[in-house]
Amino acid sequence: MIVSVASGKGGTGKTTVAVSLALAASPVMLIDADVEEPNANILLHAERSTTKKASLPFPAIDMKKCDFCEKCSDFCAFNGIIVLKGLKVFAVPEICKSCGGCKMVCPQNAISEEPRDIGYIDFGERNRVSFIEGLINIGESSATPLIRMLFDFTDDDKDTIVDCPPGAAHPMVESTKHSDFVILVTEPTPFGLHDLKEALTITTELGKKVGLVINRADVGDDEILKFAEQNNIPILMKIPYDTEIAENYSRGTSPAEFSQEWRERFARLWIKIQSIVSPA
Ligand code: SF4
Ligand code: SF4
């Protein structure tokens, strides 16, 4: 089972939920797919064991073979390869999508591929939580290829929890599309409701089962509750505003770590999701 933890915006407590759930449901795998700003390990404290470079194939041009026919640049829909007639042909790393098309259409076989590093994938372990984290290099135009690579390491024999990137754009789609269930973490405010609706548009489009975790549930209004009821979305958990949770968070400790009661609540949340995904 793959369970993604997502939210329409940052700062809702998504990572706190993902890490607490992983600790309570272990043995599991936890993937931090927020590759532009991974922070799950600030709460998990997994010991990193291995780091792999993440790379994509990138066109390399043999100018001894090239006759400047421009078939490569005509083919590339992204304008990712530039032909300077009589001078040079080169691909632009910030634009190229590594589709391999220019290599295929080159009549002179002048294009080969070489790896271009786009970031790192770290592996670690703590308390029977196998941890995988992606970190994209600064300046990369798209996080999606690195997020896609993280899912190559999932294990069919192990349940996986995914801490998704915030928002409702391509990275969120990529990190939820493999899931059996999506937890949407939200807050009972007008902004929370607005961003929840955007995130729901995506999960509905993807045909995913979803449920809500409402953070700081006792601060704000009840519009989220009404919306959930009208749209038949189960409310899986309410987390009140709690200074003990906030203080522990600021020290890098998740609720499932500092409180047995919260650990049990997250364990029950996991069982509830299992029963929704695979009803008896
Ligand atoms: S398609 Fe091949 S031969 Fe033609 S310009 Fe591009 S690299 Fe050169
Ligand atoms: S690999 Fe694809 S995206 Fe990149 S330059 Fe070639 S055709 Fe364009």
Average pLDDT over residues 34-61: 95
Q: Which ligand is nearest to the CA of 78?
A: 2
Nearest CA to ligand 2 atom 4: 96
Please list, residue by residue across 59-76, b when 16 or more beta carbons sit within 10 angstroms of its beta carbon and e when fewer do: bebeeeebebeeebbebb
Residue 229 CA, ligand 1 centroid: distance in Å: 59
pTM: 0.90
Going by pLDDT thresholds of 50, 70 and 90, the confidence category of residue 249 is: confident
Measured CA to CA, the distance from residue 39 to residue 4 in angstroms comes to: 16
Going by pLDDT thresholds of 50, 70 and 90, the confidence category of residue 36 is: very high
* Residue 156 token pair: 């069919």
pLDDT above 70 as % of the chain: 100
Lowest mean pLDDT segment, chosen from 10-14, 22-26, 49-53, 104-108: 10-14
Residue 81 CA, ligand 2 centroid: distance in Å: 6
Nearest CA to ligand 2 atom 2: 99
Pinpoint the residues of the chain covered by CATH 3.40.50.300. 2-54+118-277
Nearest CA to ligand 1 atom 2: 106
| pLDDT for position 148 | 95
Going by pLDDT thresholds of 50, 70 and 90, the confidence category of residue 51 is: very high
pLDDT above 90 as % of the chain: 84
| Residues counted in the chain | 280
Residue 90 clears pLDDT 80, i.e. is over it: yes
Measured CA to CA, the distance from residue 2 to residue 201 in angstroms comes to: 20
93-108 pLDDT, tens per residue?
A: 989 999 999 999 999 9
| pLDDT for position 41 | 96
Residue 166 clears pLDDT 90, i.e. is over it: no
Measured CA to CA, the distance from residue 198 to residue 168 in angstroms comes to: 6
Residue 121 CA, ligand 2 centroid: distance in Å: 24
Nearest to 58 by CA among 143, 105, 118: 118
Q: Which ligand is nearest to the CA of 108?
A: 1
Taking the CA of residue 102 as reference, the ligand 1 atom at the shortest distance is: 1
| pLDDT for position 246 | 87
Residue 20 CA, ligand 2 centroid: distance in Å: 41
Cα-Cα end-to-end distance for the chain: 15
| pLDDT for position 12 | 84
Fold of 2-54+118-277: Rossmann fold (3.40.50)
Of 58, 82, 98, 111, the one to substitute when testing ligand 2's pocket (max ligand atoms within 8 A of C-beta) is: 98
- CATH assignment, 63-109: 3.30.70.20
167-220 pLDDT, tens per residue?
A: 878 999 999 999 999 999 999 989 889 999 999 999 999 999 999 999 988 887
Instruction: Give residue ranges with CB within 6 A of ligand 1.
Output: 61, 66-72, 83, 89, 106, 108, 110-111
| pLDDT for position 58 | 97
| pLDDT for position 9 | 75
Residue 8 clears pLDDT 80, i.e. is over it: no
With a CB cutoff of 8 Å and minimum separation 6, the contacts of 189 are 220, 221
- Angle between helix 260-277 and helix 14-25 axes, rounded to 10 deg: 90
Of 99, 114, 116, the one to substitute when testing ligand 2's pocket (max ligand atoms within 8 A of C-beta) is: 99
Pinpoint the residues of the chain covered by CATH 3.30.70.20. 63-109
Q: What is the overall mean pLDDT for the chain? A: 93
State the number of CA atoms in the 13 A half-sphere of 277 facing the CB: 17
Residue 259 CA, ligand 2 centroid: distance in Å: 51
Q: Which residue has the tokens 């939580």?
A: 129
Nearest CA to ligand 1 atom 3: 66
Average pLDDT over residues 124-141: 94
| pLDDT for position 220 | 79
